[in-house]
Amino acid sequence: VEETIKVGHYGSMTGSEATFGQSTDRGIRMAIEEVNAKGGVKGRKIELITYDTKGDSSEAGKAVTRLITSDKVTAVLGEVASSLSIAGGAVCQQYGVPMISPSSTNARVTVGKDFVFRVCFTDDFQAFALAKFARENLGKTKAAILYDQKQAYSKGLRDEFTKAFKKMGGEIVDDQAYSGGDQDFSAQLSNIRSKNAEVLFVPGYYTDGAAIAIQARKLGMKLPLLGGDGWDSEQLGKIAGDSIVGSFYSNHSAPDQPDMADFVTKYKAQFAGATPDALGGLGYDAAMLLVDAMNRAKSLGGKDLRDAIAVTSGFPGVTGAITMDKN
Ligand code: PHE
């Protein structure tokens, strides 16, 4: 019997971003089960090894080190949060093991790391779309920002949004920071309220986004909130309830997109009727794209696999067609 091909996944299976890791792991598992049912890769089955990062950067680095040095994985999938992918990616680069992040959007994740890839858009694109939506669809001129100073993702998206919104004739009337996990946002929100902002951009993750929405409404603020992909969790609505109604966020895919229908049907059948968030689809795409590259690669050695991933063009993902560019 041929040995299995080991693939690692590091993700936040617990903690304040738990749905990120859980949904991604579901998508990855679905893909690998399908591939194994059809005979695997190069005649070998794939074995998935998942470690919990708890949403913590140093845990992410440790998880990836363990996957590479003790489990001897062929490739690594993860993380969702950009700061954690930056930490894990440094380890993959050091050991020459290819990594594909399903969903980290910060530019720094892949810069200068030729073993690190992603299968999603980046934050300059996302910020442009959000700014355009705020200006053109919502018709707003004055925006305030409340961002998480602990996350590379949040800081990057705040910078890119500021640039894009100003270019489109908008004004940033207040720019406030918090630290992920904070419980009290009343000082920042009171400040924002006094500046007469028409829309509040909150480029953070869903647990904080929900808490901010609740506290803003308590302070009598009626303006719409705007988020990035980091809001994508069933928990956002569960925690925030009515406080989030009338707000908007950008995302990688939507379950009612016609080209996602097959994937959504399969996901629901496998996971007790649950509708996949974007992370499920991106996890599935990252794993399937990796398998596609494994099949094309000269060998499963780090460099050969890296080269095969790097030339991926027009790969038909469930979240859209995926092409690697030079970054
Ligand atoms: N893009 C976010 C980051 O880079 C992670 C994320 C992706 C969260 C998709 C939710 C959905 O940190």
Ligand 1 contact, 46 CB (< 6 A): no
Ligand 1 contact, 19 CB (< 6 A): no
**Cis, peptide link before residue 79, omega less than 30° from 0:** yes
CA of 106 to the centre of ligand 1 (A): 9
Ligand 1 contact, 253 CB (< 6 A): no
Q: Are 288 and 30 in contact (CB under 8 A)?
A: no
> Best mutation site among 119, 124, 154, 229 for ligand 1, i.e. most ligand atoms within 8 A of its Cβ?
229
Ligand 1 contact, 126 CB (< 6 A): no
The helix (H) or strand (E) run that includes residue 161 is helix 152-167
CA distances from 221 to 173, 216, 237 (A): 15, 5, 18
pTM, to two decimals: 0.98
Q: What does the alpha-carbon distance between residue 231 and residue 63 come to, in Å, rounded to a whole number?
A: 25
Q: What does the alpha-carbon distance between residue 150 and residue 164 come to, in Å, rounded to a whole number?
A: 22
For CA atoms 293, 230, 204, 167, give the dihedral sign: positive
CA 105 to ligand 1: nearest atom: 4
Could you read off the pLDDT tens digit of each residue along the chain, which spans 327 residues? 679 999 999 999 999 999 999 999 999 999 999 999 999 999 999 999 999 999 999 999 999 999 999 999 999 999 999 999 999 999 999 999 999 999 999 999 999 999 999 999 999 999 999 999 999 999 999 999 999 999 999 999 999 999 999 999 999 999 999 999 999 999 999 999 999 999 999 999 999 999 999 999 999 999 999 999 999 999 999 999 999 999 999 999 999 999 899 999 999 999 999 999 999 999 999 999 999 999 999 999 999 999 999 999 999 999 999 999 999
Q: What does the alpha-carbon distance between residue 315 and residue 103 come to, in Å, rounded to a whole number?
A: 16
Amino acid letter, 110: T
User: Token pair for residue 148?
Assistant: 């998480």
- State the CB neighbour count (10 A cutoff) for residue 319: 28
Ligand 1 contact, 24 CB (< 6 A): no
CA of 230 to the centre of ligand 1 (A): 5
> Best mutation site among 105, 155, 277 for ligand 1, i.e. most ligand atoms within 8 A of its Cβ?
105
CA of 159 to the centre of ligand 1 (A): 16
Res 47: pLDDT = 98
Ligand 1 contact, 74 CB (< 6 A): no
Ligand 1 contact, 279 CB (< 6 A): yes
Per-residue b or e along 230-261, where b marks 16 or more CB atoms closer than 10 Å to that residue's CB: bbbbebbeebbeebbeebbbbbbbebeeeebe
Ligand 1 contact, 103 CB (< 6 A): yes
CA 252 to ligand 1: nearest atom: 9
Q: Mapping DSSP to helix (H, G, I), strand (E, B) and coil, where does residue 125 land?
A: helix
CA of 34 to the centre of ligand 1 (A): 25
CA of 232 to the centre of ligand 1 (A): 8
CA of 95 to the centre of ligand 1 (A): 25
Give the start-end residues of each E strand in the chain. 5-11, 46-52, 75-78, 99-101, 116-118, 142-148, 171-178, 199-201, 225-227, 248-249, 315-317, 320-322
Res 2: pLDDT = 76
> Best mutation site among 103, 123, 232 for ligand 1, i.e. most ligand atoms within 8 A of its Cβ?
103
Tell me which residue has its CA closest to atom 8 in ligand 1. Answer: 230
Res 1: pLDDT = 62
Q: What does the alpha-carbon distance between residue 92 and residue 221 come to, in Å, rounded to a whole number?
A: 45
